Amino acid sequence: MLNRFTNITISDIFSNFIFDLELPKNSQINYLKTPRIARISDSKNQMKVVGTGENQRFVLIVQYSYSKNNFNNYFYYLIIIPVLGIITYFVLKKITKKKKTYNKDALTKRQNEILNLVLKNKKITQSMLEKKLNMPKSSLSRNIDSLVKKNIIGKERKGMTNLIFLK
């Protein structure tokens, strides 16, 4: 809230005068001294002081305060803060999503072969792994289950086969 003080004094004596003072939008009058008769009106958040006088000096003292359109500032904050929050969320999510590293020495030769094919294809069916690796179905299933338990790959049922993917 900004405070302003206006003092208009003319030392000459006027036989008749009319004055019209418009204050900034969203203003409030704290103190007002006018010659004789004055009218205060408010139109579209803009204060207006109108007055007349005769056979006297013109003295007008107005102390007022006003705020610089707080509505727009709050409106911008209501838009900018959530947008920044969403952007920050996605940026942090992307940063924290690190590539998983695996200790290849801890995996068997067959598990490494399975993992390499899954890394290469991103998603692959168990039957396709079976064909590409020339591995028996039961051995492949045991090795996949072992990798799933180690939380390295995921397995999802798809029709008559399983879809294998990286976690």
CATH code for position 148 = 1.10.10.10
**What's the pTM value of the predicted model, to 2 decimals?**
0.43
Cα 167 from Cα 161, distance rounded (Å)? 19
Which ranges of the chain does DSSP label H, i.e. alpha helix?
70-96, 109-121, 126-133, 137-149
* Total count of domains within the chain: 2
109 and 61 in a common domain: no
- What is the residue range of 51's domain? 2-66
Domain assignment present for 99: no
Domain assignment present for 97: no
Domain assignment present for 90: no
pLDDT, tens digit only, all 167 positions of the chain = 567 777 777 778 888 888 888 888 878 888 888 887 888 888 887 889 898 888 888 888 888 887 765 566 677 778 888 888 899 888 888 777 666 677 777 889 999 999 889 889 889 999 999 999 998 999 999 999 999 998 889 999 988 888 999 88
